[in-house]
Amino acid sequence: MDPALIIGVVLAIVAIVGSVTMEGGSIGAIFLIPPMILVFGGTIGAAVAGAVMRDVSSLPKQLIRAFTAKTPKTDDAVEVLVRLAGRARREGLLALESEAEQVEDEFLRRGLQLAIDGTDAEEVAIILSTEVDTKRATDRAAAKLFADMGGYAPTIGIIGTVLGLVKVLGHLSSPAKLGAEIASAFVATLWGVMSANVFWLPLANRLKRVSEAECEQMELIIEGILAIQAGANPRLIEQKLQSLLPASNRTPERDVA
């Protein structure tokens, strides 16, 4: 689990609560149930109305994924591919069949099995690349749903504030109550803006970044499998795959002879 999202959200909340406290404000004045229900319920409802059920049904899963997804260790994938390439070069592609079953990465395992089964290299590339494209499109739809919530939330908050001010106008005959009611009305705008910038938009960006990292690893795996299938030198395969990694993630060359 990559804790970046949790750390960021907690830090933002602490900064907001700390600022209110330092200004002498009341934390309880912010956490008002009616405006929170309006903002969160209205935001989710508006986003659902603009989506399709396939995307909506995956919302809980994507929310959990945003908090729990691990950043792929691409250098580990390179190590596995180079090791497999060394054995394939010494013993032949069919020698990888028993080892492929032990590979943890499901995408790598399927790709190796296609190559071991004698599937044409071009077909292997098409099948695996199509899977990457499908994943990218699915992840983009999930991220868009959270991004849409980030767009709707401030407007829903303004609606809540307008409703609160309508109530205030009905109580003009009671000046003693106006200050508290006006403050309460603006809490909806606060939650609209805060939820957009502390929850929904960061969640969308997190899902986009995780998807990019996962798709990059899948594309690297495709390059490795095709190189193994072509019988390329393991050392050349390693150099090629290392060139696809950020400089900070590259490792010294291994002895794969």
Domain boundaries, the chain: 4-72+138-209
* pLDDT in the model for residue 257: 46
Structure tokens at 223: 């390059």
Establish how many alpha carbons lie within 13 A of residue 73's alpha carbon, considering only the half-sphere containing its beta carbon.
8
* pLDDT in the model for residue 254: 52
* pLDDT in the model for residue 122: 93
The answer to whether 224 and 78 are in contact (CB under 8 A) is yes
* pLDDT in the model for residue 247: 66
| Residue from 152, 151, 140, 157 nearest 205 by CA | 140
Q: Tens-of-pLDDT digits for all 257 residues of the chain?
A: 678 888 888 998 889 888 888 878 778 878 889 899 999 999 999 999 998 888 888 889 998 988 888 878 887 888 889 988 998 888 888 888 888 888 888 999 999 999 998 899 999 999 999 999 999 999 999 999 999 999 999 999 999 999 888 888 776 666 766 777 787 888 999 999 999 999 999 999 999 999 999 999 999 999 999 999 988 888 888 888 888 777 656 665 555 44
Q: What is the pTM of this model?
A: 0.82
Amino acid at position 60, single letter: P
Rounded CA separation 232/214 (Å): 25
* pLDDT in the model for residue 70: 81
The answer to whether 231 and 89 are in contact (CB under 8 A) is yes
